[in-house]
Amino acid sequence: MAVEPLSQKEIEDRLAELPGWSLSEGRLTRSFRLGSHFAATAMVVHIAQVQEELNHHSDLTLGYNTVSVSVHTHSAGGAVTEKDVELARRVQELAPGHRAS
């Protein structure tokens, strides 16, 4: 099944519904600052579970108390697609109330 890239306008519309997320270097990105290293590590595990469920995987960076997420679709030539938006929404649900860093 082909996955179609979103237009710039479509990406902007989706980002309006995803507080703290932005488009950087052609990818949807967001960082979450948590209360501790343990909390950040636990969030990475929860994100990995969602990625497996969706069969769509992002780049994750774990800092001391920060998790950074960067996502795009390889099968669409590295463009942003609805698959990326869905993953971003699901990640957002894992961290309500966490401030973007």
Q: Is residue 25 part of a domain?
A: yes
Q: Whole-model pTM?
A: 0.91
Instruction: Give the other-Cβ count within 10 Å of 90's Cβ.
Output: 17
Domain count, the chain: 1
Instruction: State the chain's maximal CA–CA distance in angstroms.
Output: 40
Domain extent for 54:
8-94
CA distance 50 to 4: 22
Q: Is residue 3 part of a domain?
A: no
CA distance 87 to 83: 6
Structure confidence by residue, pLDDT tens digits, 51-82: 999 999 999 999 999 999 999 999 899 999 99
Confidence of residue 37 (pLDDT cuts 50, 70, 90): very high
Q: Is residue 99 part of a domain?
A: no
Q: Is residue 62 part of a domain?
A: yes
CA distance 24 to 71: 10
Q: Which CATH number do you get for residue 68?
A: 3.30.1360.20
Q: Is residue 101 part of a domain?
A: no
Q: Is residue 84 part of a domain?
A: yes
- 3-class DSSP state for residue 27? strand
